[in-house]
A and B are shown apart, each in its own frame.
Chain A
Amino acid sequence: EDQVTQSPEALRLQEGESSSLNCSYTVSGLRGLFWYRQDPGKGPEFLFTLYSAGEEKEKERLKATLTKKESFLHITAPKPEDSATYLCAVQAPGSRGSTLGRLYFGRGTQLTVWP
């Protein structure tokens, strides 16, 4: 059973057309929620960490928000260079005394922005 579900799987936007990507999770005791951007054939690039419901973070045209069960990545007036796969990951508490807060990744949303 997936701990993290991202939707939609793919999204095509015209340049300037704002939209949102969703990340819902079932992990209990969330320690943090992470957003990454991944270009084809490259490693994920860190964007944001959110720790508590109500928290928001912004970077250029991107804004991430967090509720108790989901996070949204809002993209305002996107440009073609925003085209990438956006990955969401949640960090669960460590188990049995372990300090490791392992990450569970969603399958990603592939965003295409056309001119």
Chain B
Amino acid sequence: DGGITQSPKYLFRKEGQNVTLSCEQNLNHDAMYWYRQDPGQGLRLIYYSQIVNDFQKGDIAEGYSVSREKKESFPLTVTSAQKNPTAFYLCASSMTSGETQYFGPGTRLLVL
């Protein structure tokens, strides 16, 4: 089955800790995206990557970092600089940057 997987489903972060959210796709898509979803707000773009070894900041990149070393994988690190990390994080991919985006199941990040 082709699709997008995100892990873990729930993640707990302690003060001052960096945590990494995993996103993997087997759709052979070139473009991948990370969004943050907060209650009552629309999805906000954190980072995107149009091709391997290239990525750009979205609207709310501060406190986050990404890498794109493989076509299938686009991990997101939430650093200690992100002061309000509690949110639902969604990874998406599309064939190219202008095509329909398909979403993974999401990771909920909570702060201890």
Chain A residues proximal to chain B, CB less than 8 Å = 2, 4, 31-32, 34, 36, 41-46, 49, 87, 89, 91, 94, 98-108
Contact = CB atoms under 8 A, between A and B. Distances in A.
B16 interface: no
A101 B96 CA distance: 10
B40 A107 contact: yes
Interface residues of B, number: 26
B96 A108 contact: no
A54 to B, nearest CB: 20
A45 B100 CA distance: 11
B104 A43 contact: yes
Contacts of B40: 107
Interface string B67-102: 000000000000000000000101000001110111
Interface of B: 4, 6, 31, 40-45, 48, 50, 56, 58, 88, 90, 96-98, 100-106, 108
B112 to A, nearest CB: 20
B42 A108 contact: yes
Nearest to B101: A103
Nearest to B33: A103
Contacts of A4: 42
B100 A49 contact: yes
Nearest to B104: A43
B41 A100 contact: no
Contacts of A46: 100-103
A106 B4 CA distance: 23
Contact of B98 (A87, A99, A107): A99
A41 B43 contact: no
